[in-house]
Amino acid sequence: LIEYIEKLQENEFIFEQIIENQNKDMEKHKKQLTKEKRKLNDIQRHLELTQDEIPNALAGTCQFSLEDLAESIERQKEQKQQQIDLIKQLEIELKNMTVSVNDWESLQSQIPSWREIFLTADTARKRVLVDRLIERIEITDEQVIIRFKINLNDFFVQPRISNVNGVPESGL
């Protein structure tokens, strides 16, 4: 039973998988944030170039009218503000993801192993643990059959019973 409980613990590498997935998500998020910051720099550069054309428009040497430049500048300022808001939102999400990963690691370190729980439990708690794991035990003169509530094939690579006839002696 202790070996079975240890197998359950081995399959609890789910925390590591969750952290790995969150780290991948964080990397994607960081790339998205970098991309959006580059886009903000492009908007800022275009805005500055458009603003630099104002003196030429006043002098009449620009191909755009002053009104066209003013409309373009206004649109670019709106785009810039939207981009700034998007970047702030992405930064907040990234910060929250970092806290979440740290929370998972803290939670994982606080959870005791199945083996520790079983070995330190009193008889009543061991009975509850066994009751949660085992559906039924059938004892006959020829064999003992333990029916688990969980599919054991998920936990064992090799077959559980090498003798097709079951357990040769009852041991009781």
pLDDT at 113 over 50: yes
pLDDT at 117 over 70: yes
Mean pLDDT of 111-127: 79
Helix axes 66-110, 14-52, angle to 10 degrees: 160
Beta carbons of 138 and 145 less than 8 angstroms apart: yes
Q: What is the pLDDT of residues 66-105, one digit of tens each?
A: 888 899 999 999 999 999 999 999 999 888 877 665 666 6
The pTM of this model reads 0.53
pLDDT at 140 over 60: yes
What is the rounded distance in angstroms from the CA atom of residue 39 to the CA atom of residue 32? Answer: 10
pLDDT band for position 126 (cuts 50, 70, 90) = confident
- 86 versus 15: the higher-pLDDT residue is 86
Identify each DSSP E strand in the chain by its residue range: 134-139, 144-148
